[in-house]
Amino acid sequence: MTNPPANNLNITTALTDQGLGEQPWWVEQWMELINSYRFKKRLERAWTYAREGNVTSIRFEGRRVHARVQGTDEDPYKVKLWLDVLNDEDWSYVLEALTQKARWSAQLLAGIMPSDIERAFAASGRRLFPFKLQEVRSECNCPDKANPCKHISAIYFLMGDRFSEDPFVLFQLRGRTREKLLTDLAEQRRQVLANLTKTTRQNSDHPESKPICYELPIPTHPAIQNPSLWWQYEGNLNADLVVITPSLDGEGGLNAAGDLPLAEDPKFPEARQRFLNHLHEQGQHLAQKAMLQAMAGDN
């Protein structure tokens, strides 16, 4: 049985003490909302609910979280939780700011929340993370008049787990799914590059006009002439520029190769699919092993 945290114990510390490991900073920031809750006894009960299976279901549907929590009543209580969404104008400012830094886009693609992500949201005058507990909207049909009640608080804990797995859930609660956000980012970057190309052409059409800036030609890297240098790098890389990430769904080697010309055996019609499934499993196993080796490296 998982013991609840003591009254004076920080929730994020309790998560680590319960063997869940060091939590990402964005999970800790979310948990700080719960830490600010003054009814600590109710939090202890909520912790028990979250860790002992009293939450019978939890669904992330659009910007709302729907859950059922088994309490003292025979039927589970219904819980809803949501954040205020950003409108299209607000998101346009956020996307423009995100486009200015390639590092932000790279880290988000890798499933990492940039530590300075709030700077992008500051352009819209809004925030990604709620600043205080009262900014998180919630409902529960239990008789407890306090909000958050222990059932709602249990969902807070499980949402921290979900954020650890996928930080894009935070964006979804603010009105942008992962797919929509990445699509909008790509489109925004295409527009920036198109405008840059247009400006460059205009400057070339008018030699007398002074271009905004000139870039020196990039010298040819020695590895172009000597492929043996491709896997050699002796310099120290900035950690912010190095992002280790597995391939996204549909980007594996077998997917890129397309339909393999494998022979069909009428006696064993399932053999072809079983073989392909085995290749996929081996590919995932080797990719995970490579990820672990890369993340454990010193360089």
**Tens digits of per-residue pLDDT, 67-117?**
999 998 899 999 999 999 999 999 988 888 888 887 887 787 777 888 888
Give the model's confidence band at 173: pLDDT under 50 very low, under 70 low, under 90 confident, else very high: very high
Q: How far is CA 188 from the centre of its chain?
A: 20
**Burial letters 70-90, b for 16+ CB under 10 A, else e:** bbeeeebbebbbbbeebeeeb
Q: What is the pLDDT of residues 198-243, one digit of tens each?
A: 766 666 655 555 554 444 444 555 655 666 666 666 666 555 555 5
For residue 260 the two structure tokens come to 């393999």
Q: What is the pLDDT of residues 109-149, one digit of tens each?
A: 777 888 888 888 887 788 898 888 888 999 999 999 888 89
Phi and psi angles of residue 176, each rounded to the nearest 5 degrees, phi first: -135, 120
For residue 229 the two structure tokens come to 């240098």
Of the candidates 151, 86, 150, the one whose C-alpha atom is nearest the C-alpha of residue 120 is 86
Of the candidates 105, 118, 71, the one whose C-alpha atom is nearest the C-alpha of residue 178 is 105
Question: What contacts 157, CB < 8 A, 6 or more positions away?
Answer: 11, 31, 34, 46, 47, 50, 51
Alpha helices in 213-270 (DSSP H): 222-225, 253-257
For residue 47 the two structure tokens come to 């912790």
State the average pLDDT over residues 11-23.
Answer: 49
State the average pLDDT over residues 245-253.
Answer: 55
Looking at per-residue confidence, does 225 or 182 come out higher?
A: 182
CB atoms within 10 A of CB 17: 12
Give the model's confidence band at 152: pLDDT under 50 very low, under 70 low, under 90 confident, else very high: very high
CA distances from 73 to 54, 69, 77, 143 (A): 12, 10, 8, 10
Sequential DSSP letters for 183-222: HHHHHHHHHHHHHHHHHHHHHHH-TTSPPS---PPPPPPH
Q: What is the pLDDT of residues 43-69, one digit of tens each?
A: 888 889 998 999 999 998 888 999 999
Q: Write down the pLDDT at residue 215.
A: 41
Question: What contacts 254, CB < 8 A, 6 or more positions away?
Answer: 260, 276, 279, 280, 283
Helix, strand, coil percent values for the chain (each to nearest 5): 50, 10, 40
pLDDT at 15 over 60: no
CB atoms within 10 A of CB 156: 24
CA-CA distance, 23 to 27, in Å (whole number)? Answer: 6
- 3-state SS class at 120: helix
CA-CA distance, 200 to 197, in Å (whole number)? Answer: 5
Q: Write down the pLDDT at residue 55.
A: 93
